[in-house]
A and B are shown apart, each in its own frame.
Chain A
Amino acid sequence: MQTIREALRERRLLVSDGAWGTMLMAAGLTPDICAEFWNIENPDAVRNVGAKYIAAGSDLITTNSFGGSRFKLDDYDKADRVRELNRAAAHISREAAGANHFVIGSMGPTGKMLLMEDVTEQELYDAFRAQAEALLEGGVNACCIETMSAIDEGTLAVRAAKDSGAETICTFTFNHLPDGTYRTMMGVSPEEMAAAVVDAGADLIGANCSLGPEAMVEIVAAMHAAVPDVPIIVHPNAGIPSFVEGETRYPETPKSFAAQVPALVRAGASIIGGCCGTTPAHIREIAAVVNNSRGEAKAITS
């Protein structure tokens, strides 16, 4: 199968998937359950999420392995099951995706901070390396390091995934500051992130979570200006959630979200999907707009 960058050279734009966490919760996952353990205990529910996204038009789907590093699994006393749970995650998404769609292995932050001497660089690298290798064994096309906020942890994860032989995607999560700029909670700007993770070897970069699609436009533009040759992937939330009558509501409907896809494409995004609050219905609308936007997309030449 081609690499994701090769596919972008041909097709210019690709559609990623939407949220998994909120979809799994709708299927009964509660926060006290280890989500990755569902890859063993409830694989049908996990596969169903991926299958719905493929049916909605995703060219790429992620895996249920966001918290699959040994540090996160340790919260549930499952630190010794990294290989098993990540392999299963990859295998399930591959089943849902078939041979002709991409599976990108989700790798989230460990929750440990090098700055506070919670862990050493070697420990972080080893943890990401073990996760990336298990995802590759399970059949992913690429690793997707996501929701990062610290340069040191993000770049270690990129190096680990690259050293495992994976095409590597890295997305950070940014907040909108009172002065109008965007930075991660660790103080990293989109430009700083782009330069650092590309230097570490990332093949694709981007942003996910925290913000809705409109706010992502500026972030994409900033990254595109910093590293013009690197394809950009965005997974915005369905806006900022509010809590109404006992339930969490995300403001962006499939239509309102998709209406912002052309602006994301003009800013330089090559792959568009969603994060928290997005559903297969969002992806269906995004896919429709993407198919009409290829003419405006930047060419990927390398």
Chain B
Amino acid sequence: MNDLIERLAICLERGKVNRSSPHPPDLKDQDGADELTRQALDDGISAETVLADGLIVGMTRVGKKYSEGKAFVPDLLMAAKAMKAAMAHLKPYFESGQTHHRGTFVIGTVEGDLHDIGKNLVAMMLEGGGYKVIDLGVNVPAAKFVQTVQENPGCSVGLSALLTTTMVNMEKIIKAIHEVSPATPILVGGAPLTDDFARRINATAYAPDPQGALDYLSAATS
């Protein structure tokens, strides 16, 4: 069993989706996240264990490597793809209530900004980390964030921006959310952002990378 779970973690870390996937070349013709998740569940390993000890462990490893500059966007994307393949098998357990999400995370790229790659990476990492992710897309106005926060009590929020000219829109979105829900944690991130900027606009925290967002939420909600 432990071997199967560790192999699953490796599939996430290396972005091995399924047996027929050519990536990464050194794992060619081996089972991927898809097959191994099925096997683990068939062997009677709980969905919770598969998620926590296999998938999330692998996702965290690749996330850390990314933070350290040892893995790159394609590695995160392939890990997310592997996660998606695995989650297809776990979905029935979540839906039946046997397994619970760690929390709800609402994410969007702020008003005026159409860039989605960074936002998508964070969404994938959080989903991979066991959160229910509500992705509001790009160019999201304050009112949409506020409405979604009100519909999802207890959620956390992530705001993304790629441009120096759009990151300034974060301030009013944070203000609008905190007016209706002062305790909602709001993480901000994106290429031009800094910790200092996050503090100035009253964000709850600055996430320098996707793993940073996951680490913050894990620490805050555990």
Residue B26 CB within 8 A of the other chain: no
Q: Which of B60-98 contact A (CB under 8 A)?
A: 68-69, 71-75, 77-78, 81
* Total residues of chain B contacting the partner, CB 8 A: 29
CB pair A75 B73 closer than 8 Å: no
Q: How far is the CB of B170 from chain A (nearest CB, A)?
A: 11
CB pair B74 A31 closer than 8 Å: no
- The residues of B that contact A183 with a CB separation of less than 8 Å are 69, 72
CB pair B74 A25 closer than 8 Å: no
CB pair A111 B69 closer than 8 Å: no
Q: Which of A229-265 contact B (CB under 8 A)?
A: 241-243, 246, 248
CB pair B73 A185 closer than 8 Å: yes
- The residues of A that contact B72 with a CB separation of less than 8 Å are 183-187
Count of inter-chain pairs, beta carbons less than 8 A: 60
Q: How far is the CB of A45 from chain B (nearest CB, A)?
A: 16
Contact of A31 among B69, B73, B78, B166 (CB under 8 A): B166
With A32-B139, A111-B117 as given contacts, are A187 and B165 in contact (CB-CB < 8 Å)?
no
Contact of A111 among B71, B115, B168 (CB under 8 A): B115
Interface flags for B137-166 (1: CB within 8 Å of A; 0: not) read 001000000000000000000000001111
With A32-B112, A75-B114, A111-B115 as given contacts, are A248 and B165 in contact (CB-CB < 8 Å)?
yes
- The residues of A that contact B165 with a CB separation of less than 8 Å are 25, 30-31, 248
Q: Which of B159-200 contact A (CB under 8 A)?
A: 163-168, 192, 194, 196-197, 200
Residue B113 CB within 8 A of the other chain: yes
Docked CA distance A242–B77 (Å): 29
Q: Which of A163-204 contact B (CB under 8 A)?
A: 175, 177-179, 181, 183-187
Residue A115 CB within 8 A of the other chain: yes
- The residues of A that contact B113 with a CB separation of less than 8 Å are 31
Contact of B77 among A111, A116, A241, A276 (CB under 8 A): A116
Residue A289 CB within 8 A of the other chain: no
- The residues of B that contact A243 with a CB separation of less than 8 Å are 164, 167-168, 192, 194, 196-197, 200
Docked CA distance A183–B113 (Å): 25
- 8 tightest Cβ-Cβ pairs between the two chains A and B: A187-B72, A177-B69, A248-B164, A31-B112, A178-B69, A243-B197, A75-B114, A185-B73
Interface size of A as a range: 20 to 34
CB pair A178 B68 closer than 8 Å: yes
B interface residues (Cβ-Cβ under 8 A, vs A) = 68-69, 71-75, 77-78, 81, 111-117, 139, 163-168, 192, 194, 196-197, 200
CB pair A179 B115 closer than 8 Å: no
Interface SS of chain A? loop
- The residues of B that contact A181 with a CB separation of less than 8 Å are 69
Docked CA distance A111–B118 (Å): 11
Q: Which of A144-179 contact B (CB under 8 A)?
A: 149, 175, 177-179
Residue A281 CB within 8 A of the other chain: no
CB pair B112 A187 closer than 8 Å: no
Contact of B75 among A30, A184, A187 (CB under 8 A): A187
CB pair B163 A246 closer than 8 Å: no
If A184-B72, A248-B165 are given as contacts, then 8 extra A-B residue pairs at C-beta distance below 8 Å, sorted by A number, are A113-B77, A115-B78, A116-B81, A179-B69, A185-B72, A243-B200, A246-B168, A248-B192
Q: How far is the CB of B127 from chain A (nearest CB, A)?
A: 15
Docked CA distance A184–B113 (Å): 22
CB pair B74 A186 closer than 8 Å: yes
Write the chain A residue with the least CB distance to B68. Answer: A178
Docked CA distance A25–B117 (Å): 23
Docked CA distance A168–B22 (Å): 33
Q: How far is the CB of B155 from chain A (nearest CB, A)?
A: 27
Q: How far is the CB of B199 from chain A (nearest CB, A)?
A: 11
Docked CA distance A242–B192 (Å): 8
Contact of A115 among B77, B114, B168 (CB under 8 A): B77
- The residues of B that contact A185 with a CB separation of less than 8 Å are 72-73
Q: How far is the CB of A55 from chain B (nearest CB, A)?
A: 25
CB pair A115 B166 closer than 8 Å: no
